[in-house]
A and B are shown apart, each in its own frame.
Chain A
Amino acid sequence: MDKIRVVITGLGVCAPNGTTMDEFTQSIKNGISGIRHQPDLEALGFSCQIAGKPNLSEDRIGQYFSPLELRNLNSTGIVYGVIAGLDAWKDAGLNIKHNEEPDWESGSIFGTGTSGIDKFRWAINKIDDLEIRKLGSSVVVQTMASGVNAFISGKLGLGNQISTNSSACATGAESILMAFERIQSGQATRMLAGSTSDSGPYIWGGFDAMKVCTFKHNQEPEKGCRPMSATASGFVPGSGAGALVLETLESALARNAKIYAEVLGGHVNSGGQRGLGTMTAPNPTAVQRCITSAIKSAGIQANEIEVINGHLTATSKDALEIENWKTALGTSADDFPYINSLKGMVGHCISAAGSIECVASVLELDQGFIFPNINCEDLNPEITKLINPKSIPQTLVNKSFNVLAKASFGFGDVNACLILKKYNHG
């Protein structure tokens, strides 16, 4: 029997540089940054006082939550995830039905690193002040990791698998692969896939203390996140959510849905924190193996990949990532594909990074463009030793192309790689 083909039919995003698909598309095409100075981080004495945060009005949030839900809502990750998830559902042309029966054929894999960290802090303070009974009923649903998916699936009435994955910065890419596998194995017709990450000092503090964030650009936030630059000096924390609707090609065609792209395959693995891999550093052998296994799973040749959407966080590890891609794809410096990193514009959105970056990747495939890399006018010489600078576009490239590889790597030495293809209609 032929493999079930899986396509992407809906997109939603809640990113620092755009909280609607139109705004986000315009931003990524034009290299518009969503990184801003954050007065709360400055007041708290953070080394890195800049970050990426989606800009949402109360009116906008009020369109997605009931007044009762809003009363004690203090979980930015849930807000971002619900907005991106519901927008993706609507973008796919799917209605929110209020049937008695759940939609048994549709599920959701929606990942996160933590949930409701502000709510959790509030609850901890209440408990320590001997006011446990004042917590009310809203603490558990906002602080359980699966809270975001509990809100989304309830609003959409989904009756298939509802699960929250968590694999650090690989979470978003992994969620899409898990949804893909659920559909390809015949267990669901349609899956929402995505991930979210909270904003604020209590989520970003740990990274600041590890000194992995830049402290050199507090006065020029939009220049702060510099993937592949010689002056890259650490990542800039971000937040938000990205969501995609995946479904069988058969279902998409039957309901005449817009098809953005096809998911050909992918792979997740770990370097086991062996060899050069540690809790925080990737094992290059595992990264390369993840990429080659993804290509194999997609049933394509390495040289068919025309664009790479990298993890590329703007640390000293960027050159190592390029080297891993080059080895895995077996290319020369001159025939290396185009490569870009969204993080220059939105920062590192932690557990949401992979899904937001996948939304950008799918837009590139669908509309035929390659968004510009920003803040790398001074390319890292370690990188230009490996690949030709023409592979790193710094202005928008309008070009129709067929195959894109997206990878995300995370703490704990975990990797995820997806292979996406333009869907040729007709």
Chain B
Amino acid sequence: MDKTEITQELATIITPYTEEKTALESLDENTDFIADLKINSANLVDIILDIEEKFSIVIDNDSMAQMLTVKDTVRIIQNKLNAG
């Protein structure tokens, strides 16, 4: 799965967690979950669980702590997919 496909899947996962529809539409690799999408930080763990389910991967605590932007999240998903 390439970066574009992962980003698209990620956007779908994030949709219910944000009310910032404009920011969501213009989502790119620099989008920050909290600063741009105003996602409640408590929901970040729910997004991680959705990602794990969607991509059939397991995300460790250290990786989880880095997943605050689209860029870092896509990178981590890609690494896990490649490692699997």
Contact = CB atoms under 8 A, between A and B. Distances in A.
Contacts of A67: 16
B19 to A, nearest CB: 9
B81 interface: no
Interface residues of B, number: 7
Among all A-B residue pairs, the 7 with the closest Cβ atoms: A137-B42, A136-B46, A68-B16, A137-B46, A137-B45, A136-B49, A67-B16
A138 B43 CA distance: 9
B47 to A, nearest CB: 10
A68 B13 CA distance: 12
A71 B16 contact: yes
A68 B45 contact: no
B54 to A, nearest CB: 14
Interface in B22-65: 42-43, 45-46, 49
Contacts of B46: 72, 136-138
A95 B50 CA distance: 35
A134 interface: yes
Interface residues of A, number: 9
Interface string A286-312: 000000000000000000000000000
B71 to A, nearest CB: 23
A117 to B, nearest CB: 22
Given A67-B16, A134-B49, 10 more contacts: A68-B16, A71-B16, A72-B46, A136-B45, A136-B46, A137-B42, A137-B43, A137-B45, A137-B46, A138-B46
10 contacts: A68-B17, A72-B46, A134-B49, A136-B45, A136-B46, A136-B49, A137-B42, A137-B45, A137-B46, A138-B46
Contacts of B16: 67-68, 71
Interface in A116-146: 133-134, 136-138
Interface in A33-79: 67-68, 71-72
Nearest to A69: B16
B9 to A, nearest CB: 18
A425 to B, nearest CB: 43
Nearest to B50: A136
Contacts of A71: 16
A136 B46 CA distance: 5
A68 B42 CA distance: 13
B12 to A, nearest CB: 14
Contacts of A72: 46
Nearest to A137: B42
A395 to B, nearest CB: 51
Nearest to A133: B49
A134 B49 CA distance: 7
Contacts of A138: 46
Interface string B1-28: 0000000000000001100000000000
A71 B53 CA distance: 15
Contacts of B42: 137
A337 B13 CA distance: 61
Nearest to A140: B42
A138 B49 CA distance: 12
A129 to B, nearest CB: 15
A134 B45 CA distance: 9
Nearest to A68: B16
Interface string A315-352: 00000000000000000000000000000000000000
Nearest to A71: B16
Contacts of A134: 49
A138 B17 CA distance: 13
Interface string A135-160: 01110000000000000000000000
Interface in A56-109: 67-68, 71-72
Contacts of A68: 16-17, 43
B23 to A, nearest CB: 16
B11 to A, nearest CB: 16
Contacts of A133: 49
Contacts of B17: 68
Nearest to A136: B46
A139 to B, nearest CB: 11
Nearest to B17: A68
Nearest to B41: A137
B50 to A, nearest CB: 9
Contacts of A137: 42-43, 45-46
A378 B79 CA distance: 75
Contacts of B45: 136-137
A186 B42 CA distance: 36
A68 B16 CA distance: 6
